[in-house]
Amino acid sequence: MPMNVNPVPTLNPRTNEIRTKTAQIVNNDILPNENELWSAWRPDGTRDTTRRERSRELRLEIQAKVKAAGLWAPHLPAEYGGCDLGFLDHAYMNEVLAYSLGGASLFGVQAPNSGNQKILLKYGTEEQKQKWLIPLTEGRMQSGFSMTEPDNAGSDPRSLQTTATRDGDDWLINGHKWFTSNGNDADFLIVMCRTEDPDAPGDRNSAMTQIIVPTDTPGLNRIRGVPVWGQESDHCEFIYDNVRVPRENQLGASGAGHQAAQDRLGAGRVYHCMNSVGQMWRAFDLMVDRVMTREVHGGLLEEKQFMHGFLADSYIDIQAARLMTIATAEKMNAEQDARTDISAIKVFVPNAYTRVVDRAIQVYGAKGVSNDLPLASMYQGARTLRIADGPDEVHKILIAKNILKRYHAGESWDFGN
């Protein structure tokens, strides 16, 4: 079923045009080819090189259309290969492109590359931008972001123990990371390193620095792709054993790593939530289609009250998730303090997404958990989002902290702003 995207009366013509053009590519080029676009495997599980090559060609064809439509890499300025949409336009575009499987990579805005591009843009020197950012945007390179460690709490990045120490004009990196996404294909990793003594007094937030490490650097050992949800994955485990890189590979000032991570995650969370809205929209369309066509016990599913509950609850979840995320994006666009709103959507949207997909799976029965539909992988993605980019509990703590801080200061919450 094509995605039903019409101009939104309250949006400006340019934003509506972006949504419409994105929907045309999703409906005409991606959805009809979804089975071909990502397939490199035969039904018996062996790799099919002909199919793989055809998939690659198809992806390049669609990416060329995206570029011709002026929609490539919406998060980046034109001088670095993007189409520079601005925060709100990009958010509105994401809900449309995410309706299709793999839409993000076909529009040049795929994590972790997109987050790395934003960090290179903000913290990189001109030389670093030429060397790493432009090839990344043009698709000539791949990258990963290497922060989380198996032995320390990823939800408290200040606990991370990977160190970078100065040795002449070089950094020498030692540590153990895992869940570095895209780790199989990455040409370079942006690595979060402790560059100060953890026991030294001072600001814990200024102890971290992000450093670019090419993946062919001696001492960088890829241990494995950590299997996830019962399948192989490219979320990789790495040992950094005396990895030596020149000092100019450092991103921004020494100690800027924590702030850079916050910058990356704040905007990224809003985009991820709009992606989740697009995927919920898809799950919803699939669910409605099924209840209208499936007969059970002498009648269509759509006649059953349980199903009415599923549809209504899903509609409410999607509307609430979408409007909360748009309100947050509007605040970010207006450069207002949106930290509480970001934490709120980071908790609410993945949970709403999980509920909607869960209902869609239930409606489809066995087919819902099969790979014939995108619902099973959506479900895994939705559940995973409740951990990645900061678990639910950490964001709830932040929300409560911000609320109490304001009330302790003698104010109350203004939900209108």
Ligand X SMILES: Cc1cc2nc3c(=O)[nH]c(=O)nc-3n(C[C@H](O)[C@H](O)[C@H](O)COP(=O)(O)OP(=O)(O)OC[C@H]3O[C@@H](n4cnc5c(N)ncnc54)[C@H](O)[C@@H]3O)c2cc1C
Tell whether residue 391 is a contact of ligand X (CB under 6 A): yes
Interface pattern 314-353 for ligand X (x via CB under 6 A): ----------------------------------------
Site for ligand X in 151-170 (CB under 6 A): 153-155
Site for ligand X in 103-142 (CB under 6 A): 112
Amino acid, res. 96: V
Interface with ligand X (CB under 6 A), residue from 97, 147, 324, 361? 147
Tell whether residue 397 is a contact of ligand X (CB under 6 A): yes
Q: Residue 66: left if φ>0, alpha if ψ -120 to 50, beta else—which one? A: alpha
Query: Of 131 and 272, which has the nearer Cβ to ligand X?
Result: 272
State the Cα–Cα distance between residues 113 and 172, nearest whole angstrom: 24
Query: Of 192 and 338, which has the nearer Cβ to ligand X?
Result: 192
Hey, which residues does 221 pair with through a beta bridge? 239
CB atoms within 10 A of CB 239: 15
Interface with ligand X (CB under 6 A), residue from 55, 128, 142, 181? 181
Shortest Cβ distance from residue 220 to ligand X (Å)?
15
Query: Of 172 and 394, which has the nearer Cβ to ligand X?
Result: 394
Shortest Cβ distance from residue 111 to ligand X (Å)?
7
Q: Which stretch binds ligand X (CB under 6 A): 87-95, 271-279, 359-367, 384-392?
A: 384-392
State the Cα–Cα distance between residues 353 and 367, nearest whole angstrom: 19
Cα dihedral 96, 99, 104, 108 in deg (nearest 10): -40
Percent helix, strand, coil in the chain, to 5, is 55, 15, 30
E strands, 12-162, are 143-146
Tell whether residue 239 is a contact of ligand X (CB under 6 A): no
Element holding 170 (H helix, E strand): strand 170-180
Tell whether residue 235 is a contact of ligand X (CB under 6 A): yes
Shortest Cβ distance from residue 136 to ligand X (Å)?
15
Tell whether residue 179 is a contact of ligand X (CB under 6 A): yes
By the 10 Å C-beta count (0-12 exposed, 13-18 middle, 19+ buried), 134 is classed as middle
Tell whether residue 393 is a contact of ligand X (CB under 6 A): yes
Total of residues contacting ligand X (CB under 6 A): 21
Element holding 316 (H helix, E strand): helix 305-333
Q: Which stretch binds ligand X (CB under 6 A): 78-86, 207-215, 267-275, 389-397?
A: 389-397
Query: Of 323 and 387, which has the nearer Cβ to ligand X?
Result: 387
* 144 Cβ contact partners less than 8 Å away, ≥ 6 residues apart: 112, 116, 180, 181, 182, 183, 186, 188, 189, 190, 236
Residues that bind ligand X (CB under 6 A): 112, 145-148, 153-155, 179-181, 228, 235, 384, 387-388, 390-391, 393-394, 397
